[in-house]
Amino acid sequence: MTRRVLAAGHVNWDVTLRVDALPDPDGEARIESQHTAGGGSAANVAASLVGHDVDASILGSVGDDENGLLVRRELAEVGVDTDRLRVVDDGETSVKYLVVAASGQVMVLGNDGANEAVHPDDVDAGTVADVDHVHLTSQRPETAARLARLAADVDATVSFDPGRRLDSRDFSATIERADVLFLNGREAASVLGSEYANAPPTRGGLVVVKHGARGATVHKSTGSYEHPGFDVDAVDTTGAGDAFAAGFLAVVLGDAGINADRIERALEYANACGALAATSEGARTAPTRPEVEAFLEQRY
């Protein structure tokens, strides 16, 4: 059975600038290379899922400008269903400027543009009627919460990766309804406190904490699983977290929802996805299933 996943949230156009070092205030840096491509966490995950043999669609919004056309064309070319991608008349597609230093440090500049034009009233039962899983990323908290409720009504599972805006937005209603919650170490400390494994706040009780190059940990109420990650020559870690999330979901999603027996395999596979993504420039660099399997075979 082909799993059907709806990714909802930000859809951007990314401009990645590689510099020799991030400049100090009033300083200057030398641009060593420039790369443009589609971005946004929801779009990145959707595109990556297709590469893992998952039927993926995107819910988000772009402007009717040239960047929006490029975003839609790029997603369609890789096989993402864009029927739910809203095009805002006279809107400006959100553009993110990702400044990446040789050390791996990243600075993000951007405008919101048409990024959050999807309101709670714009989604209904039909939005999630034909999907098995909904992956939520940063967006209007009210929209995310409504999508999580609608998914529960049709017995679709939910994952949530709130991203950088977690500290400034109230996503508690969505977190409570999530089967899988993706966080980095800082976000985990903010949401869960120091004892991650004690009563995870999600419906499914599954919290995945990403540690970057140091791998990741999955916490359940009954225990935790760890994987140290893979040592690679990282070029650009932008989008590696999205590649990780897509890889984890591609393995852990079974015909009847979240398959707890696949957690350890999902963790290993997801870390391989993140590592491979970090070896290429840009946010939309997720590896495909054959590439990940070849990578793992070489490692063992």
Residue 228: both structure tokens together: 């140290």
**pLDDT, average across residues 77-86:** 96
The rounded Cα 37 to chain-centroid distance in angstroms is 16
Q: Cα(22)–Cα(186) distance, rounded to whole angstroms?
A: 22
pLDDT at residue 295 above 80?
yes
| 202 and 179 Cβ atoms separated by less than 8 Å | yes
SS3 content of the chain, % helix, strand, coil (to 5): 35, 25, 35
pLDDT of residue 46: 97
Strand 216-220 relative to strand 206-210, pairing: antiparallel
Count of CA atoms in the C-beta half-sphere (13 A) of 272: 25
pLDDT at residue 59 above 50?
yes
pLDDT of residue 185: 80
| 84 and 31 Cβ atoms separated by less than 8 Å | no
pLDDT of residue 112: 85
Q: Which of 92-101, 102-111, 236-245 has the highest mean pLDDT?
A: 92-101
4-299 CATH choice from 1.20.1560.10, 3.40.1190.20, 3.40.50.720, 3.30.420.40: 3.40.1190.20
Q: Cα(63)–Cα(104) distance, rounded to whole angstroms?
A: 31
pTM of the entire structure?
Answer: 0.91
Q: Which of 83, 124, 242, 261 is catalytic?
A: 242
Angle at 200 between CA 128 and CA 270, to 5 degrees: 65
Q: Cα(254)–Cα(274) distance, rounded to whole angstroms?
A: 21
Q: Which tops the pLDDT comparison, 231 or 120?
A: 120
**pLDDT, average across residues 270-281:** 89
Residue among 47, 74, 85 nearest 246 (CA): 47
Q: Cα(59)–Cα(259) distance, rounded to whole angstroms?
A: 25
Identify whether 55 is a catalytic site residue. Answer: no
Residue among 50, 8, 250 nearest 134 (CA): 8
Question: pLDDT band at 51, cuts 50/70/90?
Answer: very high
For 123-168, how does the pLDDT look when each residue is reduced to its tens digit (9 = 90+)?
A: 999 999 999 999 999 999 999 999 999 999 999 999 999 987 787 8
**pLDDT, average across residues 104-111:** 83
Residue among 19, 216, 211, 215 nearest 104 (CA): 19
Give the count of beta carbons closer than 10 Å to the beta carbon of residue 83: 7
For 209-239, how does the pLDDT look when each residue is reduced to its tens digit (9 = 90+)?
A: 999 889 999 988 788 899 999 988 887 777 8
Q: Cα(104)–Cα(86) distance, rounded to whole angstroms?
A: 34
Domain ranges of the chain: 4-299
